Structures are given as structure tokens and as C-alpha cells.
């Protein structure tokens, strides 16, 4: 490792992490990629030995061998409840165990028995009780996944199965001549192929286990549209990768990352979805080492009438390659997008139910200077009548970047500061990073050191690297004991200056190691269980957030929901909180790309996601800032944030008119909170993403498959943020030939399946309500969500072409687990049909009393002026109601109602 200059050991207090592109590898610099490419061009084949098949209670196993190496692999096929297949391939007898990702699959998946029937000679068919078949061909080894007699996916059809078996290091071998025939061992070639050592710039990665990479190809028949494998600053629909431009999944700290680039950034979810008319599939590649994914689509070949019956379907080939571990892949067979979401959630869990406050607006900056600054910013929101829920403190709030401490000069009395925020019904969020300053007087450091809680280096000492505090060691969150201890640090009695309104932000957890290879940890660092960092790099941040979330739950004795924002993540991180897209730039192009980036996270299970509003790096001009607030108000995690060198940009610093525009955008967020909260509940319970690409809601409409400049918020609202400067008009695509859409501001309506030109001023946020939906809102906005608990509701009813509409409302105390433990919740259903709007119970299990009333009902698309409107409550009381009807916009408005939100009632419109 590099020797640090004395001065470098000091705290790093500037934007030291700015890095140039050469810091990071492209595919050609990745040895396992070069090896796989080289080897696969030689076309050696694998064969399944069908006479080795054994069928156990949960799975069917058989051997696979490579004609060149003869090293036997063991394949294991599982049928899993909910139309999922799992295929595991490992060495039958590896020299030592290979890493299998723990803690991601929430519980042992319930298997279903697969019935084996032999196909033709040389093949085996494993069928579930429905219409799914796993058709294995022995030689060359290939699998066809058959759904309703149609081959929808083939595995290893391109012969890209690749498995480097563990070997004894060359130094320990008796004779070099007996090197495996698979690999050329000449000195030069060894270096190129990075078998036992791999160089990158000044870094040398010494590999005790040698080459151990794996790979496999999947051909998706008839599919041309793929999505997923975050995180990349790229389009929502995955692109063809061509030569040396694979999507990389390797968690890295990339300050001001470049957009339209397939390099890995902060987090990884090795899971993609493929969609075509009539079917959606998912492939979940459970591997936490560095992974590359190649995508190549062969479009359908147009054929003459003679050939028409022949197969001319398009096909997309997906090639997964990982540096180590085993092949462990889940095939999610849909067939609808929502089926695939459920299947994936049955494996990795659903989005955690957030506290209501965390759906409000968050105000962050690196850094709010001191207690007075916090107070002044807090007061600024009230003065300008802008709601917000949480104030955030970045690294400078600590004593020299020692997390769990406070800078005594700047924050002499953190409890007092929090009590002031509590008085305003607001919260505080502070940062807690995984690097721990090496300092014998810092108890977090000394305890972790004594207990052996740090990641170790190759030589066996504690790993040391530079981050914000200067030289630091890194907690080994993969160790359950470390997680337990770390969770304990959040106890109110342990975390001095903390209160129960303090929540946590986990940053730098890729992990970021300044001056490390690619700004991260050496791959040969050692974790709990003696596993190399290379095996589990992509899951480090997942464990950090898990330990933090569990700490917050424990501090409340299991009563309160945690809130933890993380920068790094993996499959399943949705269980622990929210994710944001890291260090974006204050540029229009970054505002624009935030939409596909968040849609991609959303379809891979991470619903609670957002991007820094305003852009983290640089200074947005005021038009961009306003547009960013407008977009952010409609994205799940809504936080303004800015880097240390940027100019102050609190919402009221840009003149009255712009303050008004930002206020309006934030207020729209608070108006729609009941809808957001209900969507989060649905995400939590049924795994439906909160923001959805159009193809998810309109899976049968080809035109929607590539749309990424607009999306659905739930199933009722279509949002098309303005992401161009000086826009006066935007082209909005309104999908669905049987749909009707209503402009949420002008109430103008359109039939679906068309693109409309919507004029926009700086105060326009193009949002459209889908006919057939009821959206619950709040009619009065408070200083924060806390002030709005008892404020009245309104219902926005948008009628379908048939004159009907449905919607839901979910309500609970907004912060505890009582909804789960004691069923203290209300889940209501609104139906509008034949002129009657009813409120009824959607889930009889729930019990929660609310004083809240529905005071306003607004109906869009009512073609005829009513002659009377009456309310009917369950106690038999009927009352006429005043109403206003506008024949120009076909809208009906009922005001000053007093209908309890939690009881059954009807409103009759005649």
C-alpha cells in the first residue's frame, strides 16, 4: 500500500474526492473479462451428464463437465413457489468453499416439486404443475425455459458457460508443466490474464485464490426491451453493449459521474427484467463480486411469405460474468410486470414502510455550519411559508469526522437543537460513514480495534485507508457481531447528543477509500469468515444500512420505524430504507437522467429513491433549480442537497417569484402526501413500485416500452417533468387507447394513445390524472407532515370513459410498527359508479380511529350538470350538499363536507 505523507494523515476537509476518469477501469482493464473473452472465442463446450441426475426433496442435481478441463461442476435446479426457477452451478468438489451470497434472500424459498420426465434421448424435462418446463439438453449443455409450450428463454445456447475452478497456486505446484490445459501459463500471458496478480496503474491485486470467475448466457426469445441492473447514469431501457462496453456492476464512489456511461457507480442490483407484448421475465443473478453484463439484441428478420412460418423472432442475449463466487440465478417467469415484481420481492423483500415524515421535503447541504445556521434555515422555511420535514447535517457536524460525535464549537448543544426542531414537528438527519478515524482517543475506534471489528488487510493487520477523517479503518459489517455492536451505538444512552428524532444517512459505503484502487478497497482485504473483499464488495453498503436500520429500531425497543438513507446498495436494500443517486451535477442533463435512473431503481425493488435536488456539484441557475424542485416533488425521496463549495441555495434566496414557484412545488408534494403514503404501503405489502415506467402500466402498448421522460406515479398520475431550459411547450405522450386523461391544473381532457403539446410556463408541472382513478389529497398544508396529521382530506375523482373511478387511502400513526403488530391502520376504498361515490373498508383487519374528515370532493369528467347531490352516512343520515358545476371544464366541486375518512358513506350525484 501507498505510504502516506505526514500531511495526508490529517483530516481531509475539502473536495478531495474529485477524481479523473483514469481512476476507473473500463472492460479492457478487467482481467476476468479478458480471460472470458479469450477463452470463449475458443468454443470449448460443456456437457450435462444425465445419468448423474438425482432428485432430492427440494432440487434436482446433475453433473456438468467441460470437455477440456474435465473438472466436474454440479448443477442444481429448484422450482420455487410463485413461478420461479433457481439454477445453481458450483464446482462439485472445490478446493475450498466458494462464496455464496448470504442475507439477501429473506427466507428459505419454498420449493415446489418438479416432475422429471425424460425428453428425447439426451435431454431431461423438469416440469412444475403449471405450464412451466425446464428443458435440459445434455450435449452441448443447454436449457430451454418453456412457458405454455413456447421457449421463452435459453440458457447457454451461445456456449458462454464459463467456470474457472479453484487451483493450487503455481508456487505450490510440483511442476509447472502440469498447469491446466485451459490456461496458457507463459509468464507474459499470466500477466495479461491477471490470473494470480492483476495490475491497474500503481495497484497490484494479489489473488490468493487465483482465477475464479464465472459466466453464463441467456437468450430471451422475442424480447427486445430490457431494464434494470442499476446503478448506471444511463437510459432506462438497457442498450446493446457491443465491444468492451458491458454494463459494470461494481460499487464505486464517482464524484460528478459522467452520464450515458455504463461504468459502475455507487450501488448494484444484479437483476434485470425483459419485456415483450404478453410477457415479462426477470433474471436475478445472485452474486456480489464485480459483475459485467453484456446485452445484444438481434432484431426480428423480416421474411417473405414463404418463410413466414419459420421463426423470425427477435432475440436478446444477456451475458453475465462475475469475478468469483458461484452461479446462482433465479428466473422469474412473470408473466406480467407486477407478477415479476412480486416474484422478486418474495426473494429479496419489499420496500420498508417509511415514516410519514420521510416522504416530506428534506433540506440538506454540505454543510449547515452550526446551531445558529440550522436555526436560521429552519426559521427561513416558516418565514417563507414553505413546508419541510427534516434538517440534515453532513460530515462537518462531527468532531473531526468521528461519527457519533458532535463538533463542540459548532454544535455545543445538539439536544437543544433537536428539541427546537421537535417543537416544530421536524426531524434531524445526520451522517454516519463506515470509515472510522484511527485515533486512540476515539472510543468507537478503540473498541472496534480491540474487538477485531475492522476489515483486515492482506497481511493480516487492520485495513487502513484514507477518507474524510484522514487515515481510517473500515468496520466489517459483513460480520453479524460487528453489525450488532454498531447497531448498539445508536442507542440513545450511547450516542451522546442524540434523541429519538435523530435519523441517519449512510454515505461513502461502496466503500470509498481515497487513493485506493478505483477509489475503493483492495480486493484482497479480508472480511469475517476469511472471505476476500472481492467476493462481497457489492454488498458492503447493504450491510452498513442494515446495521444502521436495525440500530434505530432497537433504540426504540422495536417500536419505531427507522429512516436510513444509503448511497451504496445491493439487491434487497429496499428492506432498510432509501437510496439516492449520489454526486450528480447541477446541469439540465442530470435533471433529465434522474428520471430513468430512478425508474430503473424502482423496477428493481428500490422504490424509495431520489436524486439531489438542484444537483450536488456546481451552482444551478434559478430556472434549473425551480424545475428540479418541480421534478423532485414527484420523485419518491425528495431532498435538496449541495456540495461544500457551492453557493447557498435555500429556496428563498432567488427573489420573491422564484420562492413562490419553489413553495408551490413543495406544497404540491404535501398536498399529495396521502396518495404517496398509500403507494408506499402498497409497495410494502404487494411490491408494486411507486414510480413506474409507462411499460409497467401499459404492458400491451409497444409505444410505451422506450418512454423515459415521463412516468406513472402509482397507477393514477402521469408525470412529465420539464427538463429543458426555456421550455414553452412539452410533448406529452398519453398512453392507452381506452383511456382518458385530465390535466391536473386546467382539467382539459384527452383520449389516450396520443401525444399532446402542453404549453408550459415556469410554474407548470405537467401532471395528468388518469380517468378511472380517485386520488386522496390533503386540503390544508402545514409546516411539516406532523402538522397535518388531523388536517382534512380531499378526493380528486377522475372519471373513466365509462364514468367510473376507484382509489384507495391508507392511514396509520405514521411512525410506529403498530400497523403491523396491532393492526392499527385504516385501509379505505373509494368507488365511483353510476353517480355514487362510496367510501368502504378495503381491509377488515385494520382498526384505527381518525378524526379526519373528507371535506372536499372534486369530480373531473362529469358530462352533465347534476340536479342534486346528497351524502348518505352509515348511521342513516342523509344530507343535501351544495355543489358547483362548471360546464366548461365538466367539473363538479363539493366543499365544506364533513365526512369521516374512516367510516362508510356514499355521495349520490343525480
Helices 480-488 and 443-451, axial angle in degrees (round to 10): 160
Rounded CA gap, 365 and 505, in Å? 13
The 204-243 contact track toward ligand NOJ, x by CB under 6 A, reads ----------------------------------------
**Least spacing, CB of residue 366 vs ligand NOJ, in Å:** 4
CA dist list (Å): 61 to 50, 95, 194, 762: 9, 20, 33, 62
Pick the closer one to ligand NOJ by CB: 616 or 810: 616
CA dist list (Å): 508 to 381, 467, 544: 29, 9, 10
Q: What are phi and psi of 871, to 5 degrees?
A: -105, 145
Neighbours of 260 (CB within 10 A): 11
Pick the closer one to ligand NOJ by CB: 638 or 711: 638
Pick the closer one to ligand NOJ by CB: 646 or 659: 646
Q: What are phi and psi of 532, to 5 degrees?
A: -75, 150
Neighbours of 336 (CB within 10 A): 14
**Least spacing, CB of residue 395 vs ligand NOJ, in Å:** 4
CA angle 516, 406, 651 (to 5 degrees): 85
Length of the chain: 910
Task: Say whether residue 567 binds ligand NOJ (CB under 6 A).
Answer: yes
**Least spacing, CB of residue 182 vs ligand NOJ, in Å:** 42
Neighbours of 682 (CB within 10 A): 21
Contact 30/38 with Cβ under 8 angstroms?
Answer: no
Neighbouring residues of 821: CB distance < 8 A, sequence distance ≥ 6: none
Region of 460 please: left (phi>0), alpha (psi -120 to 50) or beta. Answer: left
Site residues (CB under 6 A) for ligand NOJ, limited to 68-87: none
Task: Say whether residue 407 binds ligand NOJ (CB under 6 A).
Answer: no
Q: Which of 31, 395, 471, 617 binds ligand NOJ (CB under 6 A)?
A: 395
**Least spacing, CB of residue 401 vs ligand NOJ, in Å:** 9
Pick the closer one to ligand NOJ by CB: 32 or 366: 366
DSSP-assigned letter for residue 791? P
**Least spacing, CB of residue 564 vs ligand NOJ, in Å:** 14
The 417-436 contact track toward ligand NOJ, x by CB under 6 A, reads --------------x-----
**Cα–Cα nearest to 872, from 899, 842, 832, 844:** 899
Pick the closer one to ligand NOJ by CB: 271 or 629: 629
Task: Say whether residue 583 binds ligand NOJ (CB under 6 A).
Answer: yes
Pick the closer one to ligand NOJ by CB: 431 or 826: 431
CA dist list (Å): 416 to 397, 690, 895: 15, 36, 42
Region of 508 please: left (phi>0), alpha (psi -120 to 50) or beta. Answer: left
Task: Say whether residue 138 binds ligand NOJ (CB under 6 A).
Answer: no
Instruction: Give the N- to C-terminal CA distance of the chain in Å, as an integer.
Output: 80
Contact 896/833 with Cβ under 8 angstroms?
Answer: no
The DSSP H or E segment spanning 907 is strand 905-909
DSSP-assigned letter for residue 885? E
For residue 263, the cross-strand partners are none
Give the catalytic positions in this structure.
507, 510, 583
Pick the closer one to ligand NOJ by CB: 397 or 592: 397
Site residues (CB under 6 A) for ligand NOJ, limited to 601-640: 616
Q: Which residues of 110-135 are buried (b: 16+ CB within 10 A; e: fewer)?
A: ebbebebeebeeebbbbbbeeebbbb
**Least spacing, CB of residue 507 vs ligand NOJ, in Å:** 5
Strand arrangement of the beta sheet that strand 470-474 belongs to? 435-437, 470-474, 465-467
**Least spacing, CB of residue 255 vs ligand NOJ, in Å:** 7
Rounded CA gap, 136 and 124, in Å? 5
Q: What are phi and psi of 748, to 5 degrees?
A: -60, 150
The helix/strand/coil state of 400 is coil
**Least spacing, CB of residue 431 vs ligand NOJ, in Å:** 6
Pick the closer one to ligand NOJ by CB: 420 or 509: 509
Pick the closer one to ligand NOJ by CB: 20 or 459: 20
**Cα–Cα nearest to 81, from 61, 58, 62, 64:** 58
Pick the closer one to ligand NOJ by CB: 250 or 257: 257
CA dist list (Å): 214 to 99, 121, 287: 12, 29, 10
The helix/strand/coil state of 519 is helix
Q: Which residues of 701-722 are buried (b: 16+ CB within 10 A; e: fewer)?
A: beebbebbbbbbbbbbbbbbbb
**Cα–Cα nearest to 163, from 211, 210, 95, 195:** 211
Q: How many residues bind ligand NOJ (CB under 6 A)?
A: 10
Pick the closer one to ligand NOJ by CB: 257 or 320: 257
Residue nearest to ligand NOJ (CB): 366
Pick the closer one to ligand NOJ by CB: 20 or 243: 20
**Least spacing, CB of residue 628 vs ligand NOJ, in Å:** 15
Site residues (CB under 6 A) for ligand NOJ, limited to 429-488: 431
Contact 445/437 with Cβ under 8 angstroms?
Answer: yes
**Least spacing, CB of residue 264 vs ligand NOJ, in Å:** 15
**Least spacing, CB of residue 364 vs ligand NOJ, in Å:** 8
Q: Which of 198, 328, 507, 510 binds ligand NOJ (CB under 6 A)?
A: 507
Pick the closer one to ligand NOJ by CB: 267 or 689: 267
Give start and end residues of each alpha helix (H) in 722-844.
818-821
Nearest-Å Rg of the Cα atoms of the chain is 28
**Least spacing, CB of residue 894 vs ligand NOJ, in Å:** 45
Rounded CA gap, 413 and 543, in Å? 31
Q: Which of 217, 224, 290, 394 binds ligand NOJ (CB under 6 A)?
A: 394
**Least spacing, CB of residue 22 vs ligand NOJ, in Å:** 21
Task: Say whether residue 582 binds ligand NOJ (CB under 6 A).
Answer: yes
* Site residues for ligand NOJ per CB under 6 A: 366, 394-395, 431, 507, 567, 582-583, 616, 641
Amino acid at each position: 500500500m501507498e505510504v502516506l505523507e505526514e500531511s495526508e494523515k490529517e483530516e481531509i476537509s475539502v473536495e478531495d474526492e474529485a477524481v479523473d476518469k483514469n481512476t476507473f477501469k473500463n472492460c479492457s482493464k478487467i482481467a476476468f473479462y479478458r480471460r472470458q473473452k479469450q477463452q470463449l472465442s475458443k468454443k470449448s463446450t460443456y456437457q450435462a451428464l444425465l445419468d448423474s441426475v438425482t432428485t432430492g426433496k427440494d432440487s434436482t442435481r446433475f453433473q456438468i463437465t467441460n470437455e477440456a478441463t474435465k473438472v466436474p461442476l454440479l448443477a442444481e435446479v429448484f422450482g420455487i413457489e410463485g413461478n420461479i426457477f433457481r439454477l445453481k452451478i458450483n464446482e462439485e468438489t472445490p478446493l475450498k468453499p466458494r462464496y455464496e451470497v448470504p442475507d439477501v434472500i429473506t427466507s428459505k424459498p419454498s420449493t415446489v416439486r418438479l416432475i422429471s420426465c425424460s425428453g428425447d434421448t439426451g435431454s431431461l424435462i423438469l416440469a412444475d404443475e403449471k405450464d412451466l418446463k425446464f428443458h435440459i439438453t445434455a450435449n452441448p449443455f443447454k436449457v430451454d425455459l418453456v412457458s405454455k409450450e413456447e421457449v421463452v428463454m435459453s440458457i447457454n445456447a451461445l456456449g458462454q458457460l464459463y467456470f474457472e475452478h479453484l487451483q493450487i497456486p503455481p508456487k505450490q505446484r510440483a511442476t509447472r508443466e502440469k498447469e491446466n490445459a485451459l490456461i496458457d501459463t507463459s509468464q507474459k500471458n499470466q500477466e495479461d490474464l491477471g490470473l494470480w496478480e492483476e495490475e491497474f496503474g500503481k495497484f497490484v491485486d494479489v489473488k490468493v485464490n487465483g482465477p475464479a470467475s464465472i459466466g453464463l448466457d441467456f437468450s430471451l426469445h422475442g424480447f427486445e426491451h430490457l431494464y434494470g441492473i442499476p446503478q448506471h447514469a444511463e437510459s432506462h431501457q438497457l442498450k446493446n453493449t457491443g465491444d468492451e462496453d458491458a454494463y459494470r456492476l461494481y460499487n464505486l464512489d464517482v464524484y460528478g459521474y459522467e452520464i450515458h456511461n455504463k461504468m459502475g457507480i455507487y450501488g448494484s442490483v444484479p437483476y434485470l427484467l425483459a419485456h415483450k407484448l404478453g410477457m415479462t421475465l426477470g433474471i436475478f443473478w445472485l452474486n456480489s463480486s464485480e459483475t459485467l453484463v453484456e446485452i445484444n439484441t438481434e432484431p426480428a428478420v423480416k421474411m417473405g411469405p414463404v418463410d413466414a412460418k419459420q421463426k423470425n423472432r427477435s432475440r436478446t442475449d444477456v451475458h453475465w460474468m462475475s469475478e468469483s463466487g458461484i452461479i446462482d440465478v433465479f428466473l422469474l417467469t412473470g408473466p406480467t410486470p407486477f407478477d415479476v415484481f412480486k416474484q422478486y420481492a418474495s426473494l429479496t423483500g419489499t420496500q420498508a414502510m417509511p415514516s410519514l415524515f420521510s416522504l416530506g421535503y428534506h433540506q440538506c447541504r454540505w454543510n449547515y455550519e452550526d446551531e445558529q445556521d440550522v436555526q436560521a434555515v429552519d426559521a427561513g422555511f416558516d418565514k417563507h411559508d414553505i413546508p419541510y420535514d427534516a434538517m440534515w447535517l453532513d460530515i462537518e457536524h462531527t468532531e473531526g469526522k468521528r461519527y457519533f460525535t458532535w463538533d463542540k464549537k459548532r454544535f455545543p448543544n445538539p439536544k437543544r437543537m433537536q428539541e427546537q426542531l421537535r417543537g416544530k414537528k421536524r426531524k434531524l438527519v445526520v451522517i454516519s460513514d463506515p470509515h472510522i478515524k484511527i485515533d486512540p482517543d476515539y472510543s468507537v475506534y478503540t473498541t472496534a480495534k480491540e474487538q477485531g471489528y475492522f476489515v483486515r488487510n492482506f497481511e493480516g493487520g487492520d485495513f487502513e485507508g484514507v477518507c474524510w477523517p484522514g487515515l481510517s479503518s473500515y468496520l466489517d459489517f459483513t460480520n453479524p457481531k460487528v453489525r450488532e455492536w454498531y447497531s448498539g451505538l445508536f442507542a440513545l444512552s450511547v450516542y451522546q447528543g442524540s434523541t429519538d428524532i435523530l435519523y441517519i444517512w449512510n454515505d461513502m459505503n461502496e466503500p470509498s477509500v481515497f487513493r485506493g484502487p478505483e477509489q475503493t478497497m483492495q480486493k484482497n482485504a479480508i472480511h469475517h469468515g476469511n472471505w476476500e473483499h472481492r467476493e462481497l464488495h457489492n454488498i458492503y453498503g447493504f450491510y452498513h444500512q442494515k446495521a444502521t436500520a436495525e440500530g434505530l429500531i432497537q433504540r426504540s425497543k422495536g417500536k419505531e420505524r427507522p429512516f436510513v438513507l444509503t448511497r451504496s446498495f445491493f439487491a434487497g436494500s429496499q428492506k432498510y430504507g432509501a437510496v439516492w443517486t449520489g454526486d450528480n451535477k447541477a446541469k439540465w442533463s442530470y435533471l433529465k437522467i434522474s428520471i430513468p435512473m430512478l425508474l430503473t431503481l424502482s423496477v428493481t425493488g428500490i422504490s424509495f429513491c431520489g436524486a439531489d435536488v438542484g444537483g450536488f456539484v456546481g451552482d444551478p441557475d434559478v430556472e434549473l433549480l425551480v424545475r428540479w424542485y418541480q421534478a423532485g416533488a414527484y420523485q419518491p425521496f425528495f431532498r435538496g442537497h449541495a456540495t461544500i463549495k457551492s453557493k447557498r441555495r435555500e429556496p428563498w434566496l432567488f427573489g420573491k417569484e422564484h420562492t413562490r414557484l419553489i413553495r408551490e412545488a413543495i406544497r404540491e408534494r404535501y398536498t399529495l402526501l396521502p396518495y404517496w403514503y398509500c403507494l408506499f404501503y402498497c409497495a410494502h405489502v404487494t411490491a408494486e413500485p411507486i414510480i413506474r415506467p409507462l411499460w409497467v402500466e401499459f404492458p400491451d402498448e409497444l409505444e410505451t416500452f422506450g418512454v423515459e421522460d415521463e412516468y406513472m406515479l402509482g397507477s393514477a398520475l402521469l408525470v412529465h417533468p420539464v427538463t429543458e431550459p426555456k421550455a414553452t411547450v412539452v410533448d406529452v405522450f398519453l398512453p392507452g387507447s381506452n383511456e382518458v386523461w385530465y390535466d391536473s391544473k386546467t382539467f382539459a381532457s384527452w383520449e389516450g394513445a396520443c401525444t399532446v403539446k402542453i404549453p408550459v410556463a415556469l410554474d407548470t408541472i405537467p401532471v395528468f390524472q388518469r380517468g378511472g382513478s380517485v386520488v386522496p389529497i390533503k386540503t390544508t398544508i402545514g409546516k411539516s407532515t406532523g402538522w397535518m396529521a388531523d388536517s382534512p382530506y380531499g378526493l380528486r375523482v377522475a372519471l373513466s370513459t365509462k364514468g367510473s373511478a376507484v382509489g384507495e387511502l391508507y392511514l396509520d400513526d405514521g411512525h410506529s410498527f403498530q400497523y403491523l403488530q396491532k393492526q392499527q391502520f385504516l385501509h379505505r376504498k373509494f368507488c365511483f359508479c353510476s353517480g355514487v361515490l362510496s367510501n368502504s373498508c378495503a381491509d377488515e383487519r385494520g382498526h384505527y380511529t381518525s378524526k379526519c374528515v373528507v371535506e372536499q370532493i372534486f369530480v373531473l369528467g362529469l358530462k352533465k350538470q347534476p340536479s342534486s347531490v346528497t351524502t348518505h352516512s352509515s348511521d342513516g343520515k342523509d344530507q343535501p350538499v351544495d355543489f358547483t358545476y362548471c360546464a366548461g371544464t365538466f367539473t363538479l366541486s363539493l366543499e365544506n363536507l364533513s365526512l369521516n375518512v374512516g367510516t362508510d358513506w356514499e355521495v349520490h350525484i343525480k
